[in-house]
A and B are shown apart, each in its own frame.
Chain A
Amino acid sequence: MQAISYQSIAAALALGLFATSCKPKLDAPEPGKGALDVSKYVAIGNSITAGFADAALYYDGQLVSYPNLIAEQFKQVGGGDFVQPLVPQASAGIGSSGNARSVLGYKTDCKGVTGLSPVPFATSGDFSIFTNNISAQGPFNNMGIPGAKAITAVYPGYGNPANGFGNYNPFFTRILAPSEFATASMLSKAAAQNPTFFSVFIGNNDVLSYALAGGAADAVTPSAGSPGVGFDASYDLIINTMTANGAKGVVGNIPDVTSIPFATTIPYNGLTLDATQATQLSAAYAPLGITFHEGANAFMILDSSAPGGRRQIKSTEYVLLTTPQDSLKCAGWGSSKPLANQYVLTETEIANIQNAVAAYNAKIKSVAAAKGLAYVDVNAFMAKAKAGIVYNGITTSATFVSGGAFSLDGIHLTPRANALLANEFIKAINSQYGSTIPQVDATKYKGVVFP
């Protein structure tokens, strides 16, 4: 008897050990491509598409460009290689003013206070990026060119050095064979690859270039006008060309520039005064009837239409991130020296930008509907980022540096935000074409890197 019960117990325990090796069976469903052929994917866009970040085009940023992340997911449903015009891995990168990429570091300001601040990774950008022609590595699936607008994407000779400095885009030149300098457009280089699938996310710079300069330089692209002049005709040309061979695609609309840290980081009332300073400044501006008080005050700005050519900035207006901080803190900028137009977005300029964005977005939406393309409301996505997007326990918001969505230039995205944006594209693609392409695991991608 005894022996039997011990055996039974042993059997029970053995069964227990057996059961422990039984891990739960929980398998992922097979990804489906639906109506799609993603064997050759080409992306048209600007700096965001290029993977530009931290004020420069550099290797790590390119690797996490949203189209590259999308292409990686496409591989689960028959996607091919996605060739990007990569810069060397060790390169400091290069930005639009010849600068190196920014990193977060320590900086001592004019008052002797040391704090975290974007600082250049190197004293100069890596100009060999422009001088080393890499056209032989092409064709490039990523046709995202920093600085490109909808109207320049269709412009033959956009990379032609013969146009003279300032009249061609060296980011485009580097990927062109010299023989095609005068003739190639971004669109022609994209279409020549005969893609089966494309993405078009362009138009930001048609307003952004104006906005980034505080409305002081460049111009907002008008809706009307022929291709290369007006937004609508240029956009039509891009989409008509890309769909000519029956390719399917996805388009993204344009986010409101006032949702980015470039505009929202410096508060309009960042002029902090003590009682003495407030009295002095009130006395100085007494002829204009402007008074200041102890505590937070609205900055002074130049405005030719205001009495005396200067006024306080309104709460609905923005001081841009390009404003030198030390000048604000120690050199009387924004108080005794009103801020110049290039550092400020006024109500009028904001209205110009928002009207243009609304018109572009109406156009993009109607083209997407007419062509049966997937449509990503990037504007809504960025608006959501203002409050914070929650993903697997991470909140990613548009707050400069700490929010994690925007890189150190306050305009371009961090790797994590690129992953979240790629997911918006994938969701739109799946919804339009009945595919079940898995999204990117955004927890694998970082926000701003802290020292």
Chain B
Amino acid sequence: MTNLHKLATMLILSSPFISGAQGYQVNLQGQAQQGMANAGTAFVQDGASLFYSPGGMSFLKSNEVNIGVSPTISHGKFLDKNTNLTAETTSPVSYPFAAYGVFGLKDSSRLKLGLGIYTPFGSTVEWEDGWMGRFALTRLQLQAIFFQPTASYKINDKLGIGAGFVYANGKVNLQKDIPVVDANGNYGHAELSGKANGFGFNAGIYYKPVDKFSVALSYRSQVNMQVKSGDATFTVPSSLTSNFPNGKFKSTLPLPQVLTLGLAYTPIEKLTIAADINFVGWKAYDTLAFDYENNTTSLVDTKSAREYKNTFAFRLGGQYKIIDALAVRLGIAYGISPVQNGYVTPETPDANRIIYTAGIGYTIKQKFGINASFYFSQLNREDTNLETGMSGTYKTNVVIPGVSVFYKF
């Protein structure tokens, strides 16, 4: 027992950990999968397959309710290349959650129906008061909740297909300072706040030709989060209020399409190795546009080039069952940043990253279980932004300890 304890601790300590966000989207889904660097497309083991593998969901052996939370702790720092001054983020911890329910109409049914409810944005980015980038951004909060009903059909013992629908509802709040100042030294401030919603779908196919091997393909469509009637609020010196009229604005933030090819291999009963390749359609995020209802010479509609490029992520994870009830997991992933040189912003100081993960799961009587996962990722990016002229190095540490519980019946 003591040895097991040591092993579990060692596995965790020996991996400098993980995080799997690219761009502004963070898919913190399923603790078992997060422990394996999110390589969960071809390895169907719990309700999170609803998200990872709509085709494979029908291969789940029981009905399940699964709920988890992945507290996301992010510390960012910026070193201004021109002045040698630094600034830090004061981003609050965010609590993305994911819940899945998967049910068969009868125990023997080939059809499984499920509902996933999850929050795919990981974080609020907030920079310290008075920082040198405050005219570019002071705070960005993206909150969204996704509802994903999904059906999966097991055509035969080797092949499953599935598809679902996504309804997304959320809100966005973006704030920055405006470089106009009053006699007391107070700078102007802009706050763009609005509700957003969008639709999408997902589909997948899962094939398990032999017991030891499975392959799956899954696709999630782009979801355009549209802000149709947001509120633009400006705080400016009183003589400028007519230049910066409060009013409505429109904007759209695309969440990219993702195509994933997954493989899973179980050489011995206790060990499963899984690999995923994601193709992420970030090219959709070419421009961040704000269309204001009331335009003035000072308040013109803005179109900021983002010029994201399509990108890939490579994920590799392993699970080892020390005993039937206890699994330990490790993962490693490499994500290529969609953000090109010249377009790095304080809202997403993104970079290519290596992601390390670990996890542990314990099951009681094959019914109740608890999974814990741990992510660590460090981002480091030097850039000079073409639009704002901000020049320097962003460094971000992201730590995501997560825990989930499930009940199978």
Chain A contact residues, CB within 8 Å of chain B: 1-2, 4-5, 7-9, 11-13, 15-16, 19-20, 22-29, 31, 104, 106, 116, 390-394, 402, 404, 416, 423, 438-441, 443-444, 446-447, 449-451
Given contacts A450-B239, A450-B240, contact A441 B401 (CB under 8 A): no
A443 adjacent to B135 (CB under 8 Å): yes
The answer on a CB contact under 8 Å between A9 and B181 is no
| Shortest Cβ distance from B180 into A: residue | A450
The complex places the Cα of A409 from the Cα of B396 at a distance, in Å, of: 45
Provide the bound-state CA to CA distance between A24 and B75, in Å: 7
Stretch in contact with the other chain, from B3-11, B49-57, B98-106: B3-11
| B135 surroundings in chain A (CB, below 8 A) | 392-394, 443
Return the contact of A5 from the options B76, B360, B388, B389 (Cβ within 8 A). B360
Question: By the criterion CB–CB under 8 Å, are B393 and A26 in contact?
Answer: yes
State whether A392 and B388 are in contact (beta carbons under 8 Å apart), knowing that A23-B397, A24-B75, A450-B180 are contacts in the complex. yes
Q: Which of B362-400 contact A (CB under 8 A)?
A: 362, 364, 370, 372, 374, 376, 378, 387-390, 393, 395-397, 399
Chain A residue nearest to B75 (CB atoms) is A23
Which of B81-89, B147-155, B203-211, B313-321 forms contacts with chain A? B81-89
Q: Give the distance in Å from the alpha carbon of A24 to the alpha carbon of B380 in the complex.
A: 9
Contacts A12-B401, A450-B237 hold; do A19 and B17 have CB atoms under 8 A apart?
yes
One digit per residue, 1 when the CB lies within 8 angstroms of any chain A CB and 0 when it does not, for chain B 131-158 equals: 0111110000000000000000000000
The 20 sampled A-B contact pairs (Cβ below 8 Å) are A4-B4, A4-B5, A5-B326, A8-B9, A9-B372, A13-B401, A16-B73, A20-B73, A27-B86, A390-B389, A394-B135, A438-B82, A438-B83, A439-B83, A441-B80, A443-B135, A447-B181, A450-B181, A450-B236, A450-B237
Is there a chain A Cβ closer than 8 Å to B108's Cβ? no
Which residues of A sit under 8 angstroms from B136, Cβ to Cβ? 392-393
Please state if B82 and A443 are interface contacts (CB–CB under 8 Å): no
Give chain B nearest CB distance to A254 CB in angstroms.
Answer: 26
- Is the beta-carbon distance between A449 and B85 smaller than 8 angstroms? no
Residues of A within 8 A of B80 (CB): 441
Partner of A28, one of B73, B85, B358, B388: B85
Given A20, A29, A439, A441, which contacts B399 in the complex, CB threshold below 8 Å? A20
Residues of B contacting A439 in the complex (Cβ-Cβ under 8 angstroms): 82-83
> Does B183 lie within 8 Å of A24, measured CB to CB?
no
Contact for A12 among B5, B12, B238, B364, CB less than 8 A: B12
Determine the chain B residues whose CB is within 8 A of the CB of A5 once the complex forms: 8, 326, 360, 362, 370
Number of A-B contacts (CB under 8 A): 150
| Residue B182 at the chain A interface, CB threshold 8 Å | yes
Q: Is B79 an interface residue (CB 8 A)?
A: yes
CB of B325 within 8 Å of the partner chain? yes
Residue from B85, B236, B396 having most chain A Cβ neighbours under 10 A: B85
What is the distance, in angstroms, from A205's C-beta to the closest C-beta of chain B?
30
Interface check B112, CB cutoff 8 A = no
CB of B36 within 8 Å of the partner chain: no
A-B interface, 4 closest residue pairs, ranked by CB to CB distance from nearest? A16-B401, A393-B136, A393-B135, A450-B237
Minimum Cβ distance to chain B for residue A74 (Å): 14
A444: chain B residues at CB < 8 Å are 130, 132
The answer to whether B181 touches A24 (Cβ under 8 A) is: no
For the complex, give the distance between the alpha carbons of A67 and B210 in Å: 77
What's the Cα separation between A16 and B400 when bound, in Å?
Answer: 7
Residue of B nearest to A13 (CB): B401
Q: Is B268 an interface residue (CB 8 A)?
A: no
Asked if B353 is an interface residue, CB under 8 A from chain A, the answer is no
Hey, what's the 0/1 contact readout for B146-187 against A, CB within 8 Å counting as 1?
000000000000000000000000000000100111110100
Residue numbers in B under 8 Å from A443 (CB-CB)? 132-135, 179
Q: What's the Cα separation between A7 and B238 when bound, in Å?
A: 59
In the bound complex, residues from chain A placing their C-beta under 8 Å from that of B220 are none
Q: Are A29 and B84 in contact (CB under 8 A)?
A: yes
Contact B9 A11 (CB under 8 A): yes
B contact residues around A22 at 8 Å (CB): 75, 397
Return the chain B residue nearest A8 by Cβ.
Answer: B8
Complex interface: chain A residues within 8 A of B1 (CB): 1, 4
